[in-house]
């Protein structure tokens, strides 16, 4: 009897695992569970819901032997919404446009400093640790939103898949530890905090900033877009000099 039940459960899982709806549902449920824990924990940055969802989903995929390709057949619907979600960041930015215009010089200096340091520091550390050239260039665009970072990495001869993993890890760590680092540094201005989060932790950091304050979210969205543009221009030049 136990063997029959196990066989039936296995047949049910095989049927469900072939449906994109299952993996879409798992993704949404994992994130909602992470969001519940995040709110119950007083919105502690260390309880980042994205980190929780990633850990849960990876564990499920490993335990069930499900390939990423199969999982993505369902998760691609969430992935598709990243585009509209990114465009919607223009709304809070528009509301804060007067502050952006007043801070144009500070934004330009912060952008160049943050973009260059984020890329060169990661590349320099990996070089000192003996990483290969392909790995080094894959690490360079880690602070840029994933689609742009993967394109930069591929163009310069890196590994887009490795870049994607590093981008996600950077975003999660930035969203979790960024506010703590800014508090320790004594940065209290919401515009400055948001711009730092967007520059260093791209979309995940921007989402975190939006949850806390609209001004911070607007400047984070601006920083995310400008950093992607700046890195796409500056990183090939830095890589040519670095080599």
- What are the domain boundaries of the chain? 1-82, 91-243
Distance CA 35, CA 17 (A): 25
Look at residue 81 and tell me whether its pLDDT is greater than 50: yes
Look at residue 13 and tell me whether its pLDDT is greater than 80: no
Confidence of residue 15 (pLDDT cuts 50, 70, 90): very low
Look at residue 123 and tell me whether its pLDDT is greater than 70: yes
Look at residue 107 and tell me whether its pLDDT is greater than 60: yes
Q: What's the average model confidence in pLDDT over 72-83?
A: 74
More confident residue, 46 or 199: 199
In this prediction, residue 33 carries a pLDDT of 92
Look at residue 18 and tell me whether its pLDDT is greater than 70: no
Distance CA 135, CA 116 (A): 18
Look at residue 98 and tell me whether its pLDDT is greater than 50: yes
pTM of the model: 0.75
In this prediction, residue 1 carries a pLDDT of 46
- Give the contacts of 145 (CB within 8 A, at least 6 positions apart): 86, 167, 202, 203, 224, 228
Average pLDDT taken over every residue of the chain: 82
In this prediction, residue 19 carries a pLDDT of 61
Indicate the range of 64-68, 107-111, 146-150, 221-225 predicted with least confidence: 64-68
Backbone angles phi, psi at 187, to 5 degrees: -85, 115
């Amino acid at each position: 009897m136990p063997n029959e039940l196990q066989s039936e459960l296995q047949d049910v899982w095989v049927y469900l695992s072939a449906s994109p709806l299952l993996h879409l549902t798992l993704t949404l449920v994992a994130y909602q569970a992470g969001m519940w824990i995040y709110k119950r924990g007083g919105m502690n940055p260390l309880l980042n819901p994205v980190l929780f969802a990633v850990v849960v989903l990876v564990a499920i995929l490993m335990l069930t032997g499900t390939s990423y390709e199969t999982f993505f057949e369902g998760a691609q619907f969430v992935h598709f919404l990243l585009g509209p979600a990114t465009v919607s960041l223009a709304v809070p930015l528009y509301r804060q446009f007067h502050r952006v215009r007043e801070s144009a010089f500070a934004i330009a200096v912060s952008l160049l400093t943050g973009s260059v340091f984020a890329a060169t520091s990661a590349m320099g550390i990996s070089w000192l640790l003996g990483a290969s050239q392909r790995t080094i260039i894959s690490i360079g665009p880690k602070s840029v939103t994933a689609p742009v970072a993967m394109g930069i990495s591929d163009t310069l001869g890196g590994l887009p898949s490795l870049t994607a993993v590093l981008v996600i890890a950077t975003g999660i760590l930035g969203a979790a530890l960024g506010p703590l680092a800014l508090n320790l540094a004594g940065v209290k201005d919401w515009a400055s905090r948001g711009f730092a989060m967007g520059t260093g932790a791209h979309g995940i950091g921007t989402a975190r900033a939006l949850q806390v304050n609209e001004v911070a979210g607007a400047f984070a969205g601006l920083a995310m877009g400008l950093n992607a543009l700046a890195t796409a221009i500056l990183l090939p030049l830095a890589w040519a000099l670095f080599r």
